[in-house]
Structure 1
Amino acid sequence: MFPTSNEPIRRRKLSDEVLDRLLEDIRGGALRPGDQLPPERELMTRFGVGRPAVREAMQSLASRGLITISHGERARVSEFSVTSMIDQFDTTARLLLSGSEENISHLIQARLFFETGMVRMAAARATPEDIAHLESLVDEMEQQQTGAAFIDCDMAFHHAIADMTGNPIFAATARGMLHWLKDYHAAIISFQGAEDVTLREHREIVHYLSGHDVEGAARAMGNHLTRASELYRQRLD
């Protein structure tokens, strides 16, 4: 006997069928980044559907970041990158973090785990040029007098370490995490005297990276991020 199921057979929306066909074109290379999609009327004829189904499918592609729709122009296939993929999470991430200290704490914990792992890779791969770049960023931080400029240099320092891993997924994810935590990050280093502590910790991280000391770099990064997290929690209390 064949197994039976009480699940009802659901009819798919026409727009979902159009979406799947267009996704096949993009995945298969028939539509490449930068290419214009066919006009609406041509898609309607090709798929045998009305304009609403085509437009709904196009909006779905646009919301996923796969195509760009500009007024008065035909939609184009987007350039695909890890960074653009992470950027698609931006609005959702900010909504999750807004008003939720628990979610912020979870992201802080994830960043600690992630960056201590990345700095290990960076220590193993560090070149003299990498170290010189990090030292220049720390020197620039020391010269900054305004909080916003100091924060920008601080973020650039962590971005540079992520880039040193040679893994674009790591680099894009690290940028996303730090971008989402920027408000929390600014609150930490706005404490009087915290700038000096941050500079000292950054120089210590560079010291271990320059010596290819994997464990020392991970320990220094862990201490740096843990100290920053504690300042944030103290401010909440």
Structure 2
Amino acid sequence: MRSLSDEVCNRLAEEITSGKLKGGEKLPSEQEMMTAMGVSRTVIREAVAALRARGLVVTRQGAGAFVNPDPSRQPYVIDPDGLGSLTGVIEVLELRMAVEAEAAAIASERATLRQIKDIRAAHEELNRVIERGDRGIREDLAFHRAIAVATHNNRFVEFLEYLGRLIIPRQSIRSFEGEPEEMRRYLQRIESEHDAILQAIEARSPKKARDAMRKHLLNSRERYRQLASANETR
């Protein structure tokens, strides 16, 4: 299922590849795009980040976003359509292990008190929406993004923005249809794992933070491996 940011990204990509938006031309302002497309500022920013990752747009500090005048220079790209399969989800979880385990360790060393409060606030908000019976996709991503911000290295933030909400597997893999209690238990395990990550960061322990994040993502990978194995035997 495509998100609003995917739809906006594809719409802008079509305008760029068709020549409606020409190389070097500045994109409309965030406010103009919000009004024209009826979406939030967050959606616009996610779409522009995705276009930048695809090499279609470049951003200039203080000037805005522009159509890449040399689109032949393409960066590394992950096909978002591939993230909807179990194999794709497992591959991305392994990639996230390599990146986010170290991000958690760095955040434990560099996070300001304000940023630690932000990580805790994201954790508590996820807990609240789970209690209401929500899947907590946006809130889960917010927790991981808050940790990336706390590294004081914007490349970690860009990595998560590039992958977008599809880094949360339950966004693309509907694995709990008709099983609300199983979903609730799964989300409660995520709560517990997030709490361990938070406590390690608060304790300023890089090793514990790295291990807690790795364990969290390993557990997710194991669940989707089991799903893939079950599908193969049907």
Distance 1:69 1:158, change over 3 A: same
Q: Tell me the residue number matched to 1:138.
A: 123
**Structure 1 residues 78-109: Cα deviation after superposition (integer angstroms, max 9, x where no partner):** 49x8665226589962233345x444322221
Measured in 1, the distance between the counterparts of 2:133 and 2:184 equals 12
Q: Tell me the residue number matched to 1:27.
A: none
* 2:25 alignment partner AA: R
Q: Tell me the residue number matched to 2:91.
A: 106
- Specify every segment of 5 or more residues in structure 2 that has no aligned partner in the other structure, as ranges: 1-12, 30-47, 56-74, 177-181
Measured in 1, the distance between the counterparts of 2:187 and 2:219 equals 13
Q: Tell me the residue number matched to 1:205.
A: 197
**Structure 1 residues 188-216: Cα deviation after superposition (integer angstroms, max 9, x where no partner):** 78723112211111111111101210000
Identify which of 118, 134, 144 aligns with 1:147: 134
Distance 1:112 1:215, change over 3 A: same
Alignment of 1:1-237 (within 5 A): 62-63=16-17, 69=21, 76-78=25-27, 84-86=51-53, 93-99=79-85, 101-144=86-129, 145-148=132-135, 150-184=136-170, 187=174, 191-236=183-228, 237=230
* 1:121 alignment partner AA: I
Measured in 1, the distance between the counterparts of 2:97 and 2:210 equals 10
The percent identity for this pair of structures is 19
Distance 1:180 1:191, change over 3 A: same
TM-score normalised to the size of structure 2?
0.61
Distance 1:213 1:174, change over 3 A: same
Q: Secondary structure at the match of 1:129?
A: helix
* 1:218 alignment partner AA: R
Q: Is the 8 A contact 1:68 1:76 kept in 2?
A: no
**Structure 1 residues 46-95: Cα deviation after superposition (integer angstroms, max 9, x where no partner):** xxxxxxxxxxxxx999349xx9729xxx983249x866522658996223
Greater shift, 119-128 or 86-95, is seen at 86-95
Q: Secondary structure at the match of 1:193?
A: helix
Larger Rg: 1
Q: Secondary structure at the match of 2:184?
A: coil
Q: Is the 8 A contact 2:49 2:162 kept in 1?
A: no
Once the two structures are TM-superposed, the CA of residue 122 in structure 1 deviates from its matched residue by 0.8
**Aligned-pair Cα RMSD in Å:** 3.6
Q: Is the 8 A contact 1:93 1:180 kept in 2?
A: no
Q: Is the 8 A contact 1:123 1:212 kept in 2?
A: yes
Q: Is the 8 A contact 2:90 2:225 kept in 1?
A: no
Q: Is the 8 A contact 2:108 2:204 kept in 1?
A: yes
Q: Tell me the residue number matched to 2:70.
A: none
Measured in 2, the distance between the counterparts of 1:188 and 1:218 equals 28
Give the number of aligned pairs: 171
- Specify every segment of 5 or more residues in structure 1 that has no aligned partner in the other structure, as ranges: 1-58
Measured in 2, the distance between the counterparts of 1:90 and 1:182 equals 21
